[in-house]
Every structure is written in structure tokens, then in C-alpha cells.
A and B are shown apart, each in its own frame.
Chain A
Amino acid sequence: DTEVTQTPKHLVMGMTNKKSLKCEQHMGHRAMYWYKQKAKKPPELMFVYSYEKLSINESVPSRFSPECPNSSLLNLHLHALQPEDSALYLCASSAPGLAGGWNQETQYFGPGTRLLVL
């Protein structure tokens, strides 16, 4: 199974709402990623989890709160978002390298959640 699943596929929320995005993989990968992608732009890295611990936070506003409850699951909790946060949110996962490091590993992407903030 080389699939990364994301739910929901689409989400519309108001600026006062709290919602969560979910990502799941069963490939035994121990690194998971959140990316944000605006229309006609490349994905921008938001967070990286390595072995269920947050290892990279690309100075993302605190209204985005990631969570990695176990090695298969990654959540992104959303609260008090702004209309400019509307985007495609992509999750990805990768395996550690042969020596346990993170070099040279392919990332497998989910189909994304298209978020619209009103």
C-alpha cells in the first residue's frame, strides 16, 4: 500500500471556526509533512514530523497546529484562520534512509484538502 490518504477533500470554514485536517499512511514511514499550496504556486513546507516529533516548523502562524498522535496519523488543527489561508493543503510521508538518516528519500503525497476560508 503506497497510498497517503487525506480527509476531507474539501473544507469550507468561517474565520471563527475550528476544524482539523487528517492525513494517514500505512507504509511504515516515520516522517510526515504538511505543505500549503496556493493556486499556480509550488508547495510550501509548513511542518515536518520525524518519529512522531516535530522537527521542522517553517515559522507557521499559531492558528495552524500540527499533531502526530502515532506513526500513521498526522493532523492539522485549524483555528481562527484568515481568508488568505485558503489553499490546497498537502500531506506527505517518507521513510528514513538506510542508515536511519533522512537523506535521499522520496516523499509520497496525498491528494490534498482544498480549504476555503470565508
Chain B
Amino acid sequence: SQQGEEDPQALSIQEGENATMNCSYKTSINNLQWYRQNSGRGLVHLILIRSNEREKHSGRLRVTLDTSKKSSSLLITASRAADTASYFCATGKNTGGFKTIFGAGTRLFVKA
């Protein structure tokens, strides 16, 4: 079963606005990662946050992690049309090989 659930399922914003996506998960994790996927192609890793971290920044991206609530959020500031893509959270757990489970994803559409 899927570990991460995301909301919203779809988000449409204007260029320059901020986009916030949320992810919730069910069991303990080692880390949580966010990936972007354009048009059904390969996934691109955006940012990884460890279970002992609460916030992380990378360029226009800000990720928070609340392990007590089993949730994470991804904020994209000053969005651009090129940010249009599907965004997935993925939780990782070491089970003798590294098992990554992806959430359902948020489809972001940024209008120019």
C-alpha cells in the first residue's frame, strides 16, 4: 500500500505565486524525498530531508518535516511556468535494501 498521500491532487496557480504541496505518511521513515516528473518521463530528485531534520531549503524550494504528525510540505516560491509538473513525495526505509514508496502526487500547473 502507498506510504505517502499528498494533497492537493492538483494545483493551478499564476506565475510568481507560491505553491504549497502536502504529504502525509503512515509508518516510521528514515528520510523523505521530493521528486518532480515532467510529462510522464523520468523523475528528478529535488530535495531530501532526514527524519531528524525539521526544515530544509534548496533555491526556491522549502521542505518541512513533522515526524510527530507524519507529514511534510513542499513550498515552491515565485513559481515559473517551467515548474509545471507532477510532484511526488517519497518515503524511504532501510529494509535490507532501500525501499522507497511514492505518494499519489500533486499535479502543478503554473500559468504564464
Q: Which residues of A line the B interface, CB within 8 A?
A: 4, 31, 33, 37, 39, 41-45, 48-50, 55-56, 88, 90, 92, 94, 101-112, 114
Q: What are the interface flags for B88-102 relative to A under an 8 Å C-beta threshold, 1 for contact and 0 otherwise?
A: 100010111111111
Beyond A42-B88, A111-B41, A111-B42, whether A106 also contacts B48 by CB under 8 A is yes
A88-B40, A90-B43 are known; give 7 further A-B pairs, CB within 8 A: A31-B97, A31-B98, A42-B88, A56-B99, A101-B94, A107-B45, A108-B45
- CB atoms of A105 and B98 under 8 A apart: yes
Chain B residues near A50: list those with CB within 8 A.
96-98
Asked if B28 is at the interface of the complex by the 8 Å CB criterion, the answer is no
Q: Which residues of B line the A interface, CB within 8 A?
A: 2, 30-31, 33, 35, 40-45, 48, 50, 88, 92, 94-105
- CB atoms of B102 and A42 under 8 A apart: yes
- CB atoms of B94 and A56 under 8 A apart: no
Neighbour of B44 across the interface among A33, A56, A102, A109, CB < 8 A: A109
CA distance A16 to B110 in the complex (A): 44
Going nearest first, the 6 A-B pairs with the smallest beta carbon separation are: A55-B97, A42-B102, A102-B98, A48-B97, A109-B42, A111-B42
Chain B residues near A114: list those with CB within 8 A.
40
Chain B residues near A43: list those with CB within 8 A.
43, 88, 102
CA distance A39 to B103 in the complex (A): 14
